């Protein structure tokens, strides 16, 4: 029986099974069908998703992201940092700055090196999408900022941002006294979000520092979310709560996000390799 090689990587604890599909040429449906078993932390390798490398049309490599439930995500900020490091360390790219194609378009990545060792990865995540019809959010065309929403009888305010994938950002006084996982699951599947949504719960520490807990679409609670961190900063800057650059503290660690209206969001953070292995096809 043939074996498929993989590398386990993580960005701030948001972990992925990275597979070079250029070697195997398998259909996306194969990985979608295997995602739940491979990502299972008791009966599989254990991960928040699969990162599958394919040949790109607009850049040399295309990054495909499969959630544990088999659904496909358009973009993942932590995964793209992991992939960038993986490509560099295997000499599949020769420049510190290069392009990667994703389901949310082509992204520019820059490796921050010490000697030849990757210390961090900076990614131009592109400009956020703020039109409700493009995020998408149900209802009339609008910019969704501090809009009222009821969850389990509680009235909350949310802002919607797309960083290539949809996000529902909720600022709260404290993260300690809310059932954020239960709310996250409910909001992910709320009819207000036709393609479901990621959900970020945000506690402001000061204008340039926040604490965030993440419920990811198709994955549930994760230790970090790069696109979510960008969405938080966009929503915070637009509402006057935050001032760029912002230190985004997630359960798995910290990302630095820089964004001003009219520009692309710049994300800087680490990417780590955990181990290599293989599984039976």
pLDDT at residue 217 is higher than 80: yes
Chain position carrying tokens 């998408």: 136
User: Which one of the listed residues 39, 82, 225, 230 is annotated catalytic?
Assistant: 225
Helical spans, DSSP H, in the chain: 28-39, 77-89, 180-188, 226-238
Sign, CA torsion 151/147/223/73: positive
- 3-124+269-280: CATH topology is Diaminopimelate Epimerase; Chain A, domain 1 (3.10.310)
- Can you give the residue ranges of every domain in the chain? 3-124+269-280, 147-263
Q: pLDDT tens, 38-94?
A: 999 999 999 999 999 999 999 999 999 999 999 999 999 999 999 999 999 999 999
147-263 CATH pick, 3.40.190.10, 3.40.50.2300, 3.10.310.10, 3.30.470.10: 3.10.310.10
Chain position carrying tokens 């995602």: 35
Residues 6+ apart with CB under 8 A from 176: none
For residue 1, name the pLDDT band (cuts at 50, 70, 90).
low
Whole-angstrom Cα Rg for the chain: 18
Q: Hey, do 3-124+269-280 and 147-263 end up sharing a CATH topology, with the first three levels equal?
A: yes
Q: What is the percent of the chain where pLDDT is above 70?
A: 100
User: Which one of the listed residues 39, 76, 82, 230 is annotated catalytic?
Assistant: 76
Helix then strand then coil, in percent of the chain rounded to 5, is 15, 45, 40
Q: Is 225 a catalytic residue?
A: yes
| Cβ burial 167-196 (10 Å sphere, 16+ → b, else e) | bbbbbbeeeeebebeebbeebbebebbeeb
């Amino acid at each position: 029986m043939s074996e498929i090689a993989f590398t386990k990587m993580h960005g701030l604890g948001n972990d992925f099974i990275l597979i070079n599909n250029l070697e195997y040429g398998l259909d996306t449906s194969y990985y979608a069908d295997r995602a739940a078993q491979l990502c299972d932390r008791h009966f599989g390798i254990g991960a928040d998703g699969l990162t599958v490398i394919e040949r790109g049309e607009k850049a040399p490599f295309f990054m495909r992201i499969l959630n544990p439930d088999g659904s496909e995500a358009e973009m993942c900020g932590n995964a793209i940092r992991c992939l960038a490091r993986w490509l560099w360390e295997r000499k599949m790219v020769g420049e510190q700055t290069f392009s990667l194609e994703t389901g949310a378009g082509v992204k520019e990545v820059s490796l921050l090196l010490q000697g030849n060792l990757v210390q961090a990865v900076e990614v131009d995540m592109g400009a956020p999408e703020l039109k409700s019809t493009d995020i998408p959010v149900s209802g009339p065309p609008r910019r969704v900022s501090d809009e009222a929403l009821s969850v389990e009888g509680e009235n909350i305010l949310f802002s919607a941002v797309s960083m290539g994938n949809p996000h529902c950002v909720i600022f709260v006084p404290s993260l300690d006294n809310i059932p954020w996982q239960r709310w996250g699951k409910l909001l992910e599947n709320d009819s207000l979000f036709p393609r479901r949504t990621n959900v970020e719960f945000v506690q402001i520490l000061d204008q340039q520092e926040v604490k965030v807990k993440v419920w990811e679409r198709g994955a549930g609670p994760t230790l970090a979310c790069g696109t979510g961190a960008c969405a938080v900063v966009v929503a915070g800057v637009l509402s006057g709560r935050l001032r760029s650059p912002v230190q985004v503290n997630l359960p798995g660690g910290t990302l630095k996000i820089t964004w001003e209206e009219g520009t692309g969001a710049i994300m800087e953070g680490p990417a780590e390799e955990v181990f290599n292995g293989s599984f039976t096809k």
